[in-house]
Structure 1
Amino acid sequence: MSEKLPILPVASSSQKPLSFRRTISSPLRATSLLALGGLAALTLTSLATSSRSICSRTSHSGKEDSLGAWIEKQAKISWWSLLDNVGPTAGAKPGLVIASPSRSHPDYFYTWTRDSAITFGTIFDRFQPSNISSNGATLRHADSSLEPLLREFVASQRELQLVKNPSGSFTDGGLGEPKFMVDGTAFKGSWGRPQNDGPPLRAMVMTRYASYLLDRSAPEDETYITSHLYDATKLMSPGSVLKSDLEYVAHNWNKDSFDLWEEISGPHFFTLLVSHRSLAVGAALADRLQDQGAAKFYLAQADLIQKKLDSFWLPSKNYIQASLPSSKFGRSGLDSAVLLAVLKAGDLGEESWGVAGERMLATVEKYVKGFKDLYPLNEGGKRKEWNGALAVGRYTEDVYDGDGKSKANPWFIATFAVSEVAFKILTHLETTSVIRVTDVSLDFWKRFFPSAEAGDVYSRGAIDGVFEDVTKKLELWADGFLTVGKTFEGEGGAFSEQFGRIDGTSKGAKHLTWSYGSFLDAINARKHYHHLRNQHRR
């Protein structure tokens, strides 16, 4: 994203969760620690011991628990649960992320490049110091104990890039392979491949780390960048994981690939937007590393992607479609993939692909509304405490039920994504102190102020108080999607992939890594908004 967000405080590595959810022994842990050296080994041992379990709590879903209290507890559970799915304690090679411990019905016991990059994006948010100023106030956050884990991720991805697989080899398409076995070997079964969103997402995380190392500017950091991340003297060099990903993206973004749901092949908004962002930030890093030729080429490709992205906007229907054209696949194109794309690679403001831009506002409104009558659990008394929020899924035409094809269910990823989007809209409004209603965004604002009309401008502190009223209702709506998650979480705060469309019971893969990460991302956005709001009220 264009702005680093402060993170909820986390328990230190010495604070042990109350009970173990699962323990998977593996000889890979010892190998990993010896390779890292004494201090890193000690850090990771402490981290692993404390993170590979899940808190059990009493009165977890009791009415006496406020949303804020639940979030505080669930933040710790989700963090430890996310770490449970990384490396040897999860039964995987060091640095590899399993999608889920589920090995049957469905079998998600693999490592996906996309999911791994997204997970380490969440981890990096806790690692990197964040300085956010508002009216002179600064928030700082850092957890340096996570750096050995980040380096395990880098090492694991360097190895995966060199694994020959059904998509190809290192130099001829292999980087587009979507998933691997948890021991780092190739998955050779039939699958939707290639998937070209993995390399740009991974490049975005690696770019953040490389930039951090450059800022830290220790002599050994520069050496590490050259030998592990970005060798400016070569185009694609084995071991230069970031540079290789950027080259892959720059030369393959215009080729059809499967979408993030692994179902349809074609041009996809999610894939292209993360490709655009990776090349833009990659170009800035290349310039810092005196690789001006690459920087120029990456920016040129990013500009071409930007032009392609414009074709995903459907002015006649007033929303951003997920694939091009979505009608070809029997879909409307209203898809949570669009929200996830903007969250991972969009801007924070009102730009064309900004989270608070009129196109995004219109798309969010139509996407959420599509689920109003789709799931039976959205009807009835529970909706009152959700403040107008709904349980939402991937897309309305979805038929994947978590183990086969029938009637699809709501997803935690999608539901928490709407909350994160809403809080980031609020953050933008808190920064600008003004709401501008356009023809495109009108329906979104009418949800919170039915009298809204195109052309209206609502400013903070105005006599009519509309700005304050709308932002208050938008905040309640954002909290409502978190409350949906609170309502249907599994035992002990577990987040599966899906929850049943009728009764909300856990469905699909258990302990889905991305579900935990999406919750953490949403509450981080909430934390940042609350900080800015409270500063303005002082």
Structure 2
Amino acid sequence: MTFSVASQQDPAFEPWLERQLSHSASAMLASISPVSLVKHRPGFGQTLRPLVGAVVASPVLGNYDPDPDYFFHWFRDSAVVIDALRLLYVERRIGDEALRHLRDFTRFSLALNGLDGRAVAAVQGRRARVAPELLQYLREDHDLARIHGDAVVAETRVNPDGTLDILRWARPQHDGPPLRALALLRWAAAGHLDAALLAEVTPLIRFDIDFTLRHWREPSYDIWEEELGHHYYTLRVAGAALAEGAAWLEGLGDTAQAQRCREASRAVLGLLDGYWVDEGVDDLDSTRGYYRSRVLADDRPSPKALDIAVILSAIHSLGTEAAHGPADPRMQATLARLDALFDAAYPINHGRAAGRGAAMGRYAGDVYCSGGAYYFSTLGAAEFCFRAAAMGDDARHWLERGDAYLATVRAYTPDSGDLSEQFDQRSGAQTSAKQLAWSHAAFISCASARRIAGAACQAPRGR
């Protein structure tokens, strides 16, 4: 890209960006089909050998020592990774290996639909193999027994060997299927799939669209797996998957299901309009407020109402509509509120160097691990800005803001290029899961959005 805001101030910025992109590509690929790894959970009597097609959230084996155990195939995280894999392929940073990964991922995902928790619950002596001090983390038989059919893909995560997770966790979670549908629809739309691979991908797309159509109205746990309710992020990606799915189904000749998806998508967007918190201004077009992230099942107010998940929804569900996307002034106002929140809350943001944006976290009062800044949050804010630059009028402003967030990521990324989940809000040291696949995928998609924004800004604009 010849247009660059950051490189005008620091000529080392563009070379760093290229090096980091190369490292993030390699690091993310290490999480796809990590069949050489073996994970032991001796306290639970488990030895896990990943199957081809599984995507682990982190290939670095942790056991809450202090790094958390992220050796699971999360439905959400894996969809984000597979979408970033597409970008690497389209931009020719990876060859036909990407298509092989896509085929393996598709087959692994379809096989998961046949899991049945009733068989797991019926195993004699299941609890006897678990260390007594760990029984408190083991799922009850009745909880496992309800996991079959649609409930499997609402499980949040499974083991990478294709078995059900036997640990207590926040379930159900409904963002995985629409995210996976969006990722696969983008692969299909790119025109890079031959007839055989497209035939394999199609049933999985249809399953995810159908699941989303059946369940989008139901409460589920949020993106952070903490609160049960109705969530902006989950609804937004569901609405996008239904809209994109409607166009895809129309192309297949399934006009009746396409119409049902189209109507549901419109209903979702209408519902999301009600998530706007207008702070004392009567004008319906006011930007003095923010989109709240959730409505809890019992209607309790949540201190997590202002949440980076809203911004992530705008980039994960990016489509042609302007509402609830990076060009939406209300979404931009939400980012401004989040920026102010973390700018004030995190010591590493105080007195930061010129040209750096705020390190971004999840929500106010976060206490998970260091409760600090997240790479994918800060990269998500940067990508949002680049998407806004490509779609709006004030391109230079948004490019500068995006580069400022990227400069902060650069400041807290070691020379190795490794990216964990968090970096501490006081010291900036990396914390939580090491080599998080989502962090690297976020860097890949952010860099891609930056190139698109640069090209759009250089292109002549009509009146």
**Does the 8 A contact of 2:103 with 2:197 survive in 1?**
no
- Structure 1 residue 491: deviation in Å? 5.1
- Structure 1 residue 473: deviation in Å? 4.3
Q: How does 1:200-215 map to 2 (within 5 A)?
A: 200-212=178-190, 215=191
Residue 115 (structure 2) aligned to one of 135, 146, 163: 163
Equivalent residue for 2:307? Answer: 335
Equivalent residue for 2:230? Answer: 267
Secondary structure at the aligned position of 1:517 is classed as: helix
- Structure 1 residue 535: deviation in Å? 3.6
**Does the 8 A contact of 1:88 with 1:94 survive in 2?**
yes
Equivalent residue for 1:448? Answer: none
Q: AA paired with 1:528? A: I
Residue 278 (structure 1) aligned to one of 228, 238, 241: 241
Matched, 1:533 2:461: no
Q: How does 1:143-182 map to 2 (within 5 A)?
A: 143-165=95-117, 166=144, 168-182=146-160
Q: AA paired with 1:495? A: L
What is the CA–CA distance in structure 1 between the aligned matches of 2:264 and 2:458, rounded to whole Å?
41
What is the identity percentage for the equivalent residue pairs of Structure 1 and Structure 2?
27
Matched, 1:186 2:164: yes
Matched, 1:114 2:72: no
Q: How does 1:43-442 map to 2 (within 5 A)?
A: 66-89=12-35, 91=37, 92-100=50-58, 101-105=60-64, 106-128=68-90, 143-165=95-117, 166=144, 168-212=146-190, 215=191, 221=195, 224-226=197-199, 228-230=200-202, 240-316=203-279, 318-324=289-295, 328-331=300-303, 333-347=305-319, 351-380=322-351, 382-386=352-356, 389-401=357-369, 408-429=371-392, 434=393
Secondary structure at the aligned position of 2:54 is classed as: coil
What is the CA–CA distance in structure 2 between the aligned matches of 1:64 and 1:346, rounded to whole Å?
31
**Does the 8 A contact of 1:490 with 1:496 survive in 2?**
no
> Residues 273, 473 of structure 1: CA spacing in aligned structure 2 closer, same or farther, 3 A cutoff?
closer
The CA deviation string for residues 179-234 of structure 1, in whole angstroms up to 9 with x for no partner, is 0111111101110001000011111122233445xx5796xx1x6545x344xxxx
Secondary structure at the aligned position of 2:293 is classed as: coil
> Residues 152, 104 of structure 1: CA spacing in aligned structure 2 closer, same or farther, 3 A cutoff?
same
What is the CA–CA distance in structure 1 between the aligned matches of 2:314 and 2:337, rounded to whole Å?
16
**Does the 8 A contact of 1:490 with 1:506 survive in 2?**
no
Equivalent residue for 1:26? Answer: none
What is the CA–CA distance in structure 2 between the aligned matches of 1:425 and 1:207, rounded to whole Å?
23
**Does the 8 A contact of 1:416 with 1:485 survive in 2?**
yes
> Residues 302, 167 of structure 1: CA spacing in aligned structure 2 closer, same or farther, 3 A cutoff?
farther
- Structure 1 residue 104: deviation in Å? 1.6
- Structure 1 residue 157: deviation in Å? 0.5
What is the CA–CA distance in structure 1 between the aligned matches of 2:112 and 2:89, rounded to whole Å?
24
- Structure 1 residue 142: deviation in Å? 8.3
> Residues 401, 264 of structure 1: CA spacing in aligned structure 2 closer, same or farther, 3 A cutoff?
same
The CA deviation string for residues 218-252 of structure 1, in whole angstroms up to 9 with x for no partner, is 6xx1x6545x344xxxxxxxxx3222211111111
What is the CA–CA distance in structure 1 between the aligned matches of 2:14 and 2:221, rounded to whole Å?
39
- Structure 1 residue 170: deviation in Å? 4.6
Secondary structure at the aligned position of 2:345 is classed as: coil
The CA deviation string for residues 141-169 of structure 1, in whole angstroms up to 9 with x for no partner, is 98444211110111110111221243844
> Residues 479, 97 of structure 1: CA spacing in aligned structure 2 closer, same or farther, 3 A cutoff?
same
The CA deviation string for residues 29-67 of structure 1, in whole angstroms up to 9 with x for no partner, is xxxxxxxxxxxxxxxxxxxxxxxxxxxxxxxxxx98711
> Residues 342, 300 of structure 1: CA spacing in aligned structure 2 closer, same or farther, 3 A cutoff?
same
Gaps of 5+ in 1: 1-5, 7-62, 130-139, 231-239, 403-407, 436-470
> Residues 268, 476 of structure 1: CA spacing in aligned structure 2 closer, same or farther, 3 A cutoff?
same
**Does the 8 A contact of 1:383 with 1:390 survive in 2?**
no
Equivalent residue for 1:514? Answer: 438
**Does the 8 A contact of 2:235 with 2:272 survive in 1?**
yes
> Residues 353, 72 of structure 1: CA spacing in aligned structure 2 closer, same or farther, 3 A cutoff?
same
**Does the 8 A contact of 1:264 with 1:329 survive in 2?**
no
Secondary structure at the aligned position of 2:295 is classed as: coil
Q: AA paired with 1:315? A: D
Q: AA paired with 2:336? A: E
> Residues 497, 141 of structure 1: CA spacing in aligned structure 2 closer, same or farther, 3 A cutoff?
closer
Secondary structure at the aligned position of 2:344 is classed as: coil
> Residues 64, 273 of structure 1: CA spacing in aligned structure 2 closer, same or farther, 3 A cutoff?
closer
Q: How many correspondences in the alignment?
A: 403
**Does the 8 A contact of 1:200 with 1:275 survive in 2?**
yes
Q: AA paired with 1:155? A: R
**Does the 8 A contact of 1:497 with 1:508 survive in 2?**
yes
- Structure 1 residue 352: deviation in Å? 2.0
Q: AA paired with 1:88? A: P
**Does the 8 A contact of 1:409 with 1:500 survive in 2?**
yes
What is the CA–CA distance in structure 2 between the aligned matches of 1:251 and 1:207, rounded to whole Å?
19
**Does the 8 A contact of 2:80 with 2:179 survive in 1?**
yes
Q: AA paired with 1:531? A: A
Tell me the TM-score normalised to structure 2 length.
Answer: 0.81
Equivalent residue for 2:40? Answer: none
What is the CA–CA distance in structure 2 between the aligned matches of 1:282 and 1:366, rounded to whole Å?
32
Equivalent residue for 2:138? Answer: none
What is the CA–CA distance in structure 1 between the aligned matches of 2:304 and 2:225, rounded to whole Å?
17
What is the CA–CA distance in structure 2 between the aligned matches of 1:319 and 1:120, rounded to whole Å?
30
Secondary structure at the aligned position of 1:372 is classed as: helix
> Residues 524, 283 of structure 1: CA spacing in aligned structure 2 closer, same or farther, 3 A cutoff?
same
Secondary structure at the aligned position of 1:205 is classed as: helix
What is the CA–CA distance in structure 1 between the aligned matches of 2:184 and 2:318, rounded to whole Å?
18
Q: AA paired with 1:396? A: A
Secondary structure at the aligned position of 1:266 is classed as: strand
What is the CA–CA distance in structure 1 between the aligned matches of 2:145 and 2:423, rounded to whole Å?
33
Secondary structure at the aligned position of 2:250 is classed as: helix
